[in-house]
A and B are shown apart, each in its own frame.
Chain A
Amino acid sequence: MSAIAATPDAAEYSTRRLPGDQDVWIFIIAELLMFGAFFIAYIVNRAGEVDLFNASQLTLDRSFGVVNTLLLVTSSWAVVEAAAAVRGNRAALAPCYLLIAIGLGVAFIVVKFFEYSAKFEAGLSMTTNTFYMFYFCLTMIHLAHVVVGTIILIVMWTNARNGNYAAAHTKGLETGASYWHMVDLLWIFLFALLYLLR
């Protein structure tokens, strides 16, 4: 969590810059490349078994996917508002927005729990077929990112409550926010690939 607690250096900030800790972007880009590899693997395997993938996809419950997409997008919005509040000298509002974001992150995890439970009850698992192998592996790896992201949000919330963020001191907040937006972005891709792509 040293990135969150990193002290800002106003001098290194230019008008056009990546938000947050510049070096953390190496991590974020590497994560995006990794998921890029996952998506390519999915597309390549799908091309070999299009009918199986399409048939299996119909057994997914899209409403779970839609609800989770809404939860994460709204959560990202709350994080944006928290950062805007801090930058606009309304830092007292930041903990409220961050708490909303945490709540929505936890809600995503709860929805996933019910979604997985329904699949397991129906006798579906990652060994059922190639589609379900991808469905479970990719969403579970993403879920691990949501769990880590929620923990980061909790750290940010604690920092915000302790008054550690100010208009001139947003590096930690922006770093955590960038990670959370990445988690959101990855879910949007996953949702489209697994639930919608025909």
Chain B
Amino acid sequence: MDEKTSLRYQLISAWCGPAFLVTFVFFWGFLGHNLPNPSPASSAADLTTRYLNNLGEIRLGFIVSMITVCLYLPWTAVLSAQMARIEGNFPVLSFLQLLGGGLTVMVVSFSAMFWAVAAFRPDRDPASFQLLTDMGWLCIDLQYACTTLQMVAAALAGLADKRKLPLFPRWVCYLTIWCGISFFPASLTGVLKTGPFAWNGALSYYIPYFCWLCWYSTASIYMIKEVRRRMHGADVPATSGRLAHGMGT
């Protein structure tokens, strides 16, 4: 592939980041009625009413979000390639970030899938609505560690970037690590049904998810900038010189 085409694909992949962000918040968040999300303490009957009253929106929201969540993949791929340039011959952190990003997509996708299943047969038993709601929330809230690893890997590669114009500024890297570990309180959703650490609480839902999307937006800006720099030929070569086998040009 010639360099111009490659750079164009890289830029499109990096712009998949903001596209994911907007579609995730709109389809998964708003249409899926996850802003605010249901309480783990609500009864099976209340949950069923919640689904039945918003059936069309919930179906559309989750079915589309299972497609758009995949915009996370090209973004993860371009970040891996950018990290591999920093790492050189053994891009362990890049691979880790790639795996973390790929699995994040599955975790988010499966949460929406459980809720889409719940909305599939509106005449089902209320206990099943409750079970599927629980499965979706615990699926996404307890399995954050692959996302945390993705973020920590990106931050560590960023901190090791000794070029004059690094991929990420150092403060972004430290913020990334912190955003990654801000998920830890979400593990408490496996036990608690009320309060700020329950799955509808500020400390297990709103703050960690906001931090995740905050990191994602900040990283997207710097990734797009990096691709643009190379498009305009103003790139500073990676210190390692050689690139990973099969990773980028």
B159 interface residue (CB < 8 Å to A) = yes
**Closest beta carbon of chain A to B239's beta carbon, Å:** 15
A27 touches B175 (CB 8 A): yes
Task: Tell me which residues across on chain A come within 8 A of B160, comparing CB atoms.
Answer: 2
**Shortest CB distance B219–A (Å):** 15
How many Cβ-Cβ contacts under 8 Å join chain A to chain B?
A: 54
B184 with A141: CB separation less than 8 A: yes
Interface residues of A in 148-167 (CB under 8 A from B): none
Q: How far is the CB of A183 from chain B (nearest CB, A)?
A: 14
Q: Are A23 and B174 in contact (CB under 8 A)?
A: yes
In whole angstroms, how far apart are the Cα atoms of A81 and B54 in the complex? 62
B185 at the interface (CB under 8 A from A): yes
Contacts of A41 in B (CB 8 A): 195-196, 202-203
Residues of A within 8 A of B171 (CB): 23, 26
User: Given A34-B207, A45-B196, A24–B174 Cβ distance below 8 Å?
Assistant: yes
Interface size class of B (residues with CB under 8 A): 20 to 34
The contact size tier of chain A is 20 to 34
Interface of chain A: mostly helix, strand, loop or mixed: helix
B31 on the A face (CB < 8 A): no
Q: Is the CB of A37 within 8 A of B177?
A: no
> Is A127's beta carbon under 8 Å from chain B?
yes
- List residues of chain A with CB within 8 A of the CB of B182: 34
Flag if B188 contacts A137 (CB, 8 Å): yes
B178 contacts A by Cβ under 8 Å: yes
Q: Is B173 an interface residue (CB 8 A)?
A: yes
Q: How far is the CA of A21 from the CA of B173 in the complex (A)?
A: 13
Question: Taking CB as reference atom, which chain B residue is nearest A1?
Answer: B156
Residues of B within 8 A of A141 (CB): 184-185
Residue contact A2 to B174, C-beta cutoff 8 Å: no
Among A37, A45, A130, point to the contact of B207 (Cβ < 8 A): A37
Complex Cα gap A23–B171 (Å): 5
Which 3 pairs across A and B sit closest by C-beta, in order of nearness? A23-B170, A27-B174, A41-B196
The residues of B with any CB-CB pair to A shorter than 8 Å are 156, 159-160, 169-171, 173-175, 177-179, 182, 184-185, 188, 191-192, 194-197, 202-203, 207
Q: Beyond the given A133-B197, A137-B185, please list 8 additional residue pairs across the A-B interface where CB-CB is below 8 A.
A: A23-B174, A24-B174, A26-B175, A34-B178, A45-B195, A130-B195, A133-B192, A137-B188
